[in-house]
Amino acid sequence: MRQSQPTQPALSFSEIILILQDYYGPPLPPISSDPFELIIWENVGYLASDRRRASAFVELKARVGLEPKAILEADHHTLADIAKAGILADVSAEKLLTAAKIAYEEFNSDLRSALRLPLPQAKKALRKFPGIGEPGAEKILLFTGTCPLLALESNGLRVLLCLGYGKEERNYASTY
């Protein structure tokens, strides 16, 4: 990202939200409030649309289950077949297995214990999982009702910068 000076927003944040809701309708609720299921959601279909990701998530739930142990016991081919909703299905299958292994071995299949940690440690615990960076960890903390964070992913951050909110720095982490 190139460094830029902040501009004055033309509209308030509240006005922008109302315009977006008028156009798109209210946002749908999260697929789950369970931290492991939210991690699975992020990994079940790489670069898949929300509709295709939701379909893969439902298929995983029906064919395998969403518990870490069930995913660990699943056949790699089955996981890849489900993950074909996105690109790189084999990679997504590996990410599902890795996430299940971390949840099973490090958290005894209960990620809610990680959510009870102080905020920096909770984020660090969630970032152990594939596909979960700081924005993803914050989104999980938001959707589980643990901590009210803005939880922007990279596209959302770029949009806010274009609307005049924030200052673009030399790297994504500084801008975030």
What's the pLDDT score for residue 3? 54
Question: With a threshold of 0.75, does the pTM exceed it?
Answer: yes
What's the pLDDT score for residue 7? 61
CB 154 within 8 A of CB 162: no
- The number of C-alpha atoms within 13 Å of 127 and in the hemisphere containing its C-beta is 10
- pLDDT beneath 70, residues of the chain: 1-7
- The number of C-alpha atoms within 13 Å of 12 and in the hemisphere containing its C-beta is 3
**Tokens encoding 12:** 């308030």
Amino acid at 8: Q
What's the pLDDT score for residue 173? 75
What is the domain partition of the chain in residue ranges? 35-133
What's the pLDDT score for residue 114? 94
Distance CA 62, CA 48 (A): 19
- The per-residue pLDDT for range 118-141, each reduced to its tens digit, is 999 999 999 999 999 999 999 999
Structural domain 35-133, CATH architecture:
Orthogonal Bundle (1.10)
CB 96 within 8 A of CB 73: no
**Cα radius of gyration rounded to whole Å, the chain:** 18
What's the pLDDT score for residue 27? 87
**Tokens encoding 106:** 């490090």
What's the pLDDT score for residue 4? 53
